[in-house]
Amino acid sequence: MYKILCSVLWLWATASSAKTFFSYADIAEQAIPGVVNIRTKSYVRRDPHLDLYEFFMGGKLPRQESTVSLGSGVIITQDGQIITNYHVIKDASRIDILFANSKKLAQADVIGVDRKTDLALLKVNVSWPLTVLTLGDSKSLRVGDIAIAIGNPFGYSHTVTQGIISAKGRVIGAGPYDNFLQTDATIHPGNSGGPLLDLRGRVIGINTAVSRRGGGIGFAIPINLAKKIVADLNRHGKVRRPWVGIVGKNILSDNDLDQGVEQSGIYGVIIANLIVDAPAHQAGVRIGDLLMQFDHKKVFDVHALQRHLSQRQIGDQVHLRLYRRGQGYLNVKLVLEEVPRSRDLPDEADLF
C-alpha cells in the first residue's frame, strides 16, 4: 500500500510540475530563431518599344522594374539549408533572408525547386550559428492534435498562432500531389513557407495556402513529403518520381466518394491508357482493367493512387490488384521506374 501511495504521489508531482513548466511560449521561444523572413525581388522586362525611343532619342532609360514579395522559411541544417514554398521564390532574381535572432540579412541561392508540390530548397552562407528546427513525423498526426504556426503574415515578422489539425489528406486542387494537412491555426499571406509545429516544437508541415472561402482554414504540406523532396533535391538536384506508366480515370464522382461508397465494393481507377514498355505494360496490365489496390492499399480515386505512389521509391517492387472483365480479380507485381523526361506523355494530372 505504501509503495502504491508513493507511486501516485510521484506521478501527481511530475504532472503538476509539467503543467507549471509548459506553455506555448516555450515552444515559440525555441522555434522562432529557426524561422526566417524571406524577401524576394523580381525584375520584369519593360516595354520593348522603349528600345526604339532610346535608339532615336539617345540616352538610357531604366531597363527593368522591381517587385518585392514576402514569405517565410524553415532552417533545416546547420550549414544553412532553408525550406520554403516554391511560389514564395518563383521568378525571383534576388532572395534575401532575414534572421530573427541576429536581425541580419543574407542572400540565398536556390538548390532546387519542385513545382508539383510547391516546395523549394535554399542555401545561405553565414558566419554566425543557426538555429535548426527538428523535422517531425506527419504520418503519426491525428485529427485534433494541437498545431502552432509561425510566419510573417502581411509582413508582421515571426507571428505565432495556434489551433489544431482539422483534417488530413485534403485535396484542394493545387496539383497532382495534393495531400494537405488542414488546420485552423491562423495563416495569412506571408505565412507561406513557414512551419506548422507540434507540441514538442517539431515541424510537422510547411504552411502553404488558405481557403479561398475564408473561415480561417489553412493548409500545410506534410513534412514527410517535404523530407522526401529535400532528399531528392540534395542528391540529384531534382525530384525523381516513380511511375507505373498508366493513364487513370476515376469511376466514381466526388459526391460518390464523399458518401463512402467503397462499402458497396465498387471503387477503383480505370486504366484508360497504357504507356508502351512502361512497368504496367510489361507486367501485363491492360486498358480497361480496374485498379483497386496499390501495394495492398485501396485505391478510391486518382489522388489516392498518386499519394500511394509518391511514398514509394524508384526500384521498389509493388503489388497491384486488378479487376478484369471476364477474368475476375488479378494480382500483378511490377518494379517502379523513374518517369522518363525525353518523350511525349499524356497530361500529367492523369499519368501515374
Residue type, 142: R
Place of cell 482554414: 217
Contacts of 116 (CB under 8 A, 6+ apart): 175, 176, 177, 239, 348
DSSP class of residue 133 equals P
Q: Is 193 helix (H, G, I), strand (E, B) or coil?
A: coil
Burial class (CB in 10 A: 0-12, 13-18, 19+), 257: middle
Residue 153 to residues 99, 103, 177, 194, Cα–Cα distance (Å): 16, 18, 25, 10
Q: By the 8 A CB rule, do 165 and 45 touch?
A: no
The C-alpha atoms of residue 233 and residue 237 are separated, in whole angstroms, by: 4
Residues 6+ apart with CB under 8 A from 283: 320, 332, 333, 334
- Cα–chain center distance at 34: 19
Looking at residue 175, the DSSP 8-state letter turns out to be -
The three-state secondary structure class of 55 is: helix
The Cα–Cα gap between 137 and 198 comes to 10
Exposure of 125 in the CB half-sphere (CA atoms within 13 A): 3
- Active-site residues: which are they? 87, 118, 192
Give me the helices (H) in 36-107, please: 50-57, 86-89
User: What's the CA dihedral at 100, 103, 105, 110 to 10 degrees?
Assistant: -10
- Residue at 165: amino acid letter: I
